[in-house]
Every structure is written in structure tokens, then in C-alpha cells.
Chain A
Amino acid sequence: MSLLALQDVSLSFGGLKVVDGLDLHVDEGEIVSVIGPNGAGKTTLFNLITGIYEPDGGDIVFDDKSIVGLEPHQISRRGISRTFQTLRLFLNMSVKENVMAACYGHTKAGIFRSMVRTPGMRREERQIEDLARTRLEFFGQRLMGYRWDQPAYSLSYANRRRLEIARATATNPRLLLLDEPAAGMNPAETHEITELIGKLRDDGGYTILVIEHDMHVVEGISDRVVALDHGVKIAEGSFEQVATDEKVVEAYLGLKTTATK
């Protein structure tokens, strides 16, 4: 059984249908890429999975249980985490705190215990800090050491992207949704991200669903590629299959006949 399965999912805004009868599945341990021109509904797909939008029709099943109608934080606790296309870090908090904050869902010290600092609470705090450290170490030296206590707004762009991924992994997810992780990066950084995503699956054990525009990245990481256009799945398969699929080429470049004019 797939870890995540979307079954005939539809969503409309006003009169505009943004997702139409979409079927999609991700198996445990896979890395699946979602591609498609702008406006194809890719980020909407992520928003549907994470509960920000509720589908008008169809079902979303995670770990054999439907997650439609759940609040985003509940879905996060079920094991799905994400990054954002436009980077949504907690900019005025330190690097360490950004990651520690994401541990909320699997910790339990309440406000009263925090006030008096019970031994249980202090133990949990140490665990949270250790977890944050581990997650940040994943990125090598880039986010370590003195960087920890610096506010997130002082990070460079590439580091911010990395921090957001680190933060997403701090919720202990099984499924990781990465929304354009390589956006705005130079070739060297892009190469690093490609390796990183592979490492996330191999060493971290995460199942990963990625939205990406950069075909080098898609080629380098994907077990499977899904192509969307106007909210509909137009192709699915290995990278070679999808990249050469007529409909995909048409969606990106237009009809062959018009191109030759």
C-alpha cells in the first residue's frame, strides 16, 4: 500500500477548477517529483495534502487513513512535513529556535511545567536541543556552531533554504514535501541540494515528494516523475518517459505546429 494516495481529488476556487480528478500515489521510501508549468496546481497539491485547503471531492489517504478535513497541525503530527516555495522561516528567531519550535508536535511540556521547570520538562528541553542539533548537522558545517544563535534573517539565501528543510525534518515526519528546494540557487548549490535530497532518503529514511522546475535536479533524484498541467495529471513514469512525453512538451512549449511557424 502506498504511503500517500490522492484519489480523484478536485478543488475549485470560485469558478476556477485548480485541481481536477487527480490520482497520485507515493510509496514508502520513494522520491517522486512533480513537474509542470506555472499555474499547474503543484503548490495547491501540497496545500491540499497538508490541510491548508480542503478538497471539494475525492480523498487523500496517508498511512491507510484519510486525512481530509484534518487541521494542518494534526496532519503534521501524522507524519507529513513540508517546505514552502517562498520560504517561510521564523525570521526573528534564532536558527536553533526555528528547528526547536518544530518539535512542538511530539513534545508535551505544558505551560505550567515550563514555568516551574520540572525535571521532566528540562529533560524534554535537552532532548529537543539534541534533536535540533542532529537535524542541523545533517547539512554539514553550513548551519553549525556560531550560526545557531544568530537570527534566521542573517542567513544567506541558500542557508535559509537549508534551514527550512532542517526545520521540516524536526517534526519527525515520514513524508517530506519539498516545494522547489533548488529555487534561486546557483549550479554548485543546486548540485549540493540534489545530493542532499538523496541523502535525506537514504540516511534519513524519509519518503519525499518534490516540486521542481530544474530538470537537472529532477533527473538526479527521482524514482518517478509526475507531470501536471491545469490541475490534471498528464504524464507519469520515469524521468526519460515523462520528459519525452508529447503532452508534457506541449504543456511547456506549446504545440509543435505553432513552434515551427
Chain B
Amino acid sequence: MSDSTPHGFHSTGAEGPAVGQDEWVARHAERRIMQGGPLGKVEDRVRAVPWWAWLILFVGLFCLFPLVETGGYVREVAFNTVLYMLLALGLNIVVGWGGLLDLGYVAFYGIGAYVYALLDSPHYHHHFPTIVSIVIVVIVGALAGFLLGLPSWRLTGDYLAIVTLFFLQLFQTVTTNWQHVTGGPFGILNVDPFGLDKHHQLATQHNGVFAVSYLYVALGIFVLVYVALRMVNNSRTGRAWRSLREDPLAAEAMGMPVNWLKLLSFASGAAVAALTGSLYAALYGNVFPLTFYFVTLITIYTMVILGGSGNQAGVVLGALIVSPLLEVLRDSGKSRIMFFVALVAGLALFSRRSPRIAIVAAATLVFGFVVHAICSAINGSWVAGEHHGGFAGFVDHWVVAPDQMARWIAPASYVGVICIALVVALLSGWKRLALLVPTLYLAAFVWENVMLSKPEPARYIVLGVILIVLMILRPNGLLGERRVEIV
């Protein structure tokens, strides 16, 4: 009988799954077997640790962190990361639990920031106590989410994505043009920091440097939201949301009011985003329309997808990875380090599947030195470019970096490396490995000469690539569950 063995395991045998056994189930069982042994034991132990223990550990480390790193800039990056963690949590409610593609999510972030700014700034001369402002912000955010969710009553999947995208553009148009209320492109300035009232405010800066107290405030809010969402996930609403994501038709047939639940997930996600918006506005003191647009949206989506949509800890992890990554990529020295680290890590990861990768790595190294030597022999100025920051010495002798580049080289090499990389993706076997060598070298060339000089678009290009590659190779992200879609 098919279910007599424990754990639902079945040996698949050479002929394939046992009769009556679901093929997909059989393959899944295999996957778990593979993780036996010492690594499997570690994984089991790790899985057994309760979620709140992780949370305490994490928050503890985060709190100690400012004692170690006293620079204002790093603390500010940490604060931004907490903001992103909150935003990712909120988006997770809509996308991960509700299964709805909300492309207007960032508008709620903006609504929260603007409402707070309107309530606590010289713009309208209101200065509500923070407690009051935050409550209002959350309510307005939830209402806005509710309103945007209303079209979801009748619309499914793709149509909903379009309408939410309209909404994002709408928000941008309104905030940019309604100068009277929103300050237009110049935004609202001098927004009050958090505080009990006008005379007891939490200063956003100490001696011109980011005030670490805001980091703790942000962390506190994060913990509250995380725990609250955890509680909801394990309640009937959470189960209903997840059922809705799995199969809306079946959920409806089992007594769950799917349309209402969609609205609720929209409103909840929006409320979290709005709350984060107020935090943003309070610290930075200014709100501008462009902060809350497409770029931020894609960034948050990358975090959610990378971490694993549907998994709370996952999306937080995604934010923890992407946010500092974006910061690091601003600086050319650190970017260079990141590139080589990623390169080596990538090679190491793939070497598990095919040990010949080590040969590729060695070959690329040699290839690079050879090319560099040839180029410097032909024309000294071809390799005369200066480098600063991490690994500069290595790069000086390995990557061809001209003093001045002809204008056509940048687009040509960029397009070239993309083309050659795509070709590599299509090939297989030794041809692929062989072509990988010049590809990697060309990539280093492009990174050094083309992308490092323009960190702004470069770091977003990295995000875009991460998204595409993620969806193709590992759509469930780092911690997401293996998805089984019902068509």
C-alpha cells in the first residue's frame, strides 16, 4: 500500500516512482534524502529553533551593532535597512500571503510619509504629537489600501497588476502637480521628528550626525510589526490568506470570503507601508515625490523575491542582503571587491556541480595576465588607468584599463559581454567552459571601466539581473517554500 512507510518516503527505484505514487512527491522525497548526513542534522537543528529565538538573537545583534560601528553613515544605512525590512514585511502580506501582484505598493509608503509630513511640519502649521500622527497615518494607509483593493473585487491577476500600476503613476502625478497641498516636486520640508510634543522631540541628529536613537525606534517598530504579523499568520486570517494564495476558488468554496480577504491583505500591507513612511519622514525631515516611485518598488520586490515570498523571515533576510548591497555598490572600491567576491562565490557554488570550474578560474586568471601584458606591450596608455580602493593592486595588473577610453568602447563592450554571456548560457559542455574564460574577463573589464564610473545605474542593473536570474533559477528565493502552482 502506498502509505505504509513513515514520512511519506518512497524509494523511486530505477523504473521511476512506485505505482500509485505521485511523481512530484517522489522527487521531493529524494530531495530530502539528499540532505541527510551531517549537513542534514545541522539543518534539522536549525529548523527546530523557535522563531522568536531567532528574532531575539537578531535584534540583540542589531542593537549591539552601533556600539561597534560608530560611524554615522553606517548607522544610517542600518536605519534604511530596517525601513526596507518593514516595507518587505508589508509587501509580503499582499504578495506572499495574499498572492496578489501589487505594483502600487510604494504609493502607500509615500502616502504615509506625506500624511505625516502634512500633520507635522510648517507646511500647514500642524504639529500633532507623534502618537496621534502615527495612528492617523496608519488609518489613512489602511483606507487607501482598502480603496485600491476595491478593483480587486472584480479583477483577477493581470488586471489587478495593471490597476495598481496606474495607482502608482497616479500618486506620482498628484504629488508632483498638486503643489498647493503636496509641495509639488519640491516636496515638503522641515518635517518634525518623532516626539511627545513640540518640546520633547527626538532629535534626528547629534552634532550633525545621524542619531542612533532612531535606529532603536525603527527596530522597536520592526519587532512589533514582525511579531504582530507572526501572530496573524498563525490565526484564521493568516490561514485564509494563505489559502487564498494557494487556490482562491477552493478557498471560497470552503467558506472563506476571498474578495474581502484580498481587500484585507491590501489594507494591511498598505498600513505597514504607511507606518514606515512616517518613520522615513520623521528622520529625513523632507518628502519628495520621486522617492516613492518605480525604482523603490523594484528594490522592495527584489528583496521579497530574493528572500522568498510568503516567508516572513525570508523577506527580512532579503532586505538585509539587498539594502547594504545597494549602499556598497555606491563606492567604486567596495564595488570592485563585491564583484570579485561574487565572482569567486559564484564559481565556488557552481564547482559543486562541476569541478572543472576550478580550471576555468585558473584559466581566466592566466588569460587576464596574458592579455594585460600584451596590451601594455602594444600601448602603455591602454593599461594606464588609475584604480583606487579594494583590490586595486590586483586589478592594475590584471584588467585592461585605459587612461582614456574611446566613446564607442563602453557600449560596445557592454553589449558584447551581454551577448557573449547569453551565448555561454546556450552552450554546454567544454565549449561552455572554454567560452566562459573570455566572458569572465570581459565582464571584469566592463565592470571596471564602464560600471564603476557610474554607480547609480550600475547598482540598479545588478538588481535587475538578480531579479531575472532569480526567477529563472530559483523563484522561491532563499527561504521560500517550494511552490506548487495550481493552473
Contact = CB atoms under 8 A, between A and B. Distances in A.
Interface stretch (A150-158, A206-214, A238-246): A150-158
> 7 nearest interchain CB pairs?
A105-B255, A114-B235, A76-B255, A88-B250, A90-B246, A102-B254, A101-B239
Interface of A: 50, 52, 71-73, 76-77, 81-82, 84, 88-93, 97, 100-107, 109-111, 114-117, 121, 124-125, 128, 142, 146-147, 150-151, 153-159, 167-168, 170-171, 186, 188
Given A71-B257, A154-B25, A171-B254, 11 more contacts: A84-B253, A88-B250, A89-B247, A93-B239, A97-B242, A109-B236, A111-B237, A111-B264, A124-B236, A150-B8, A156-B25
Contacts of A154: 8, 25, 28-29
A146 B2 CA distance: 16
Contacts of A146: 6-7
Nearest to A153: B484
B20 A157 contact: yes
A117 B484 CA distance: 31
A109 B237 CA distance: 8
B221 to A, nearest CB: 14
Contacts of B228: 115
27 contacts: A52-B253, A71-B257, A73-B253, A73-B257, A76-B253, A81-B253, A84-B253, A91-B486, A92-B310, A93-B246, A101-B251, A107-B236, A114-B236, A114-B237, A114-B238, A115-B231, A116-B231, A125-B236, A142-B3, A146-B6, A150-B7, A154-B25, A156-B3, A157-B22, A158-B20, A186-B20, A188-B1
The A contact surface, by secondary structure, is helix
Contacts of B242: 90, 92-93, 97, 101
Q: Select the residue from B7, B242, B250, B268 with max chain A CB neighbours within 10 A.
A: B250
Nearest to B1: A188
Q: Select the residue from B228, B239, B240, B268 with max chain A CB neighbours within 10 A.
A: B239
A48 to B, nearest CB: 13
The B contact surface, by secondary structure, is helix
Given A90-B250, A91-B486, A155-B25, A171 B255 contact: yes
Contacts of A128: 236
Given A88-B250, A154-B25, A104 B240 contact: yes
A159 B3 contact: yes
A156 B21 CA distance: 6
B254 A158 contact: no
B232 A114 contact: yes
A219 B330 CA distance: 74
B130 interface: no
B235 A109 contact: yes
B486 A73 contact: no
A60 to B, nearest CB: 16
A147 B7 CA distance: 7
Contacts of B2: 156-158
A165 to B, nearest CB: 12
B243 interface: yes
B253 A72 contact: yes
A88 B24 CA distance: 16
Nearest to A177: B253
Nearest to B7: A146
B254 A153 contact: no
B25 A81 contact: no
Nearest to A76: B255
Contact of A153 (B25, B232, B247, B253): B25
Nearest to B260: A73
B481 interface: yes
Interface in B4-32: 6-8, 20-22, 24-25, 28-29
A2 B3 CA distance: 40
Interface in B453-487: 481-484, 486
Nearest to B230: A115
B252 interface: yes
A74 to B, nearest CB: 8
Contact of A90 (B28, B237, B243, B255): B243
A116 B419 CA distance: 54
A187 B246 CA distance: 31
A123 to B, nearest CB: 13
